[in-house]
Amino acid sequence: MQLKSLATAKLSAKAAAILAVGALTLTACGGSSTPAASSEGGVQLITPGKLTVCSDVPYEPFEFQKDGKIVGFDMDIAAEVAKDLKAELSVVDSSFEAIETGTALTQCDVSISSISITDTRKSVMDFSDPYLDDDLTLVASVSSGITNLEGAKGKKVGVQQATTGAQYAKDKGLDAQQFEDTGLLVQALKAGTIDAALGNQSVLGYAIKDDSNFKRVENFATGEKLGIAIKKGNTAMATQVNGTLKRLTDDGTMAKFKTTWFGETSK
Residues in the chain: 267
Distance CA(33)–CA(14), nearest Å, equals: 20
Distance CA(121)–CA(39), nearest Å, equals: 27
CA 177 vs CA 37, 70, 161: distances in Å: 44, 28, 9
What was the pLDDT predicted at 2?
A: 52
Q: What pLDDT is stored for residue 7 in this prediction? A: 35
Q: Are 98 and 88 in contact (CB under 8 A)?
A: no
- 211 HSE (CA, 13 A, CB side): 17
Q: What is the DSSP letter of 29?
A: P
Per-residue pLDDT, 35? 38
- pLDDT for the residue 58: 86
**Which residues, in sequence order, are CB contacts of 58 under 8 Å at separation 6+?**
64, 65, 181, 182, 183
Q: What 8-state DSSP symbol labels residue 221?
A: -
pLDDT, position 99 = 95
Cβ burial, residue 85 (10 Å; 0-12/13-18/19+): buried
3-state helix, strand, coil in the chain (%, to 5): 35, 25, 35
- Largest interatomic CA distance in the chain: 57
pLDDT < 70 positions in the chain: 1-41, 264-267
d(CA 111, CA 130): 14
Task: State residue 22's pLDDT score.
Answer: 36
- Global pTM value: 0.73
- Apex CA 61: angle with CA 83 and CA 190, to 5°? 165
Task: Select from 55, 56, 57, 35 the least CA-distant residue to 46.
Answer: 35
Q: How far apart are CA 55 and CA 15, in angstroms?
A: 10
Q: In sequence order, what are the beta bridge partners of 91?
A: 19, 53
> Exposed (0-12), middle (13-18) or buried (19+): which is 264, by Cβ within 10 Å?
exposed
As a three-state string, the secondary structure of 168-198 is HHHHCCCCCEEECCHHHHHHHHHHCCCCEEE
Report the alpha-carbon distance of residue 226 to residue 129 in Å, rounded: 8
CA separation for the pair 72, 61 (Å, rounded): 5
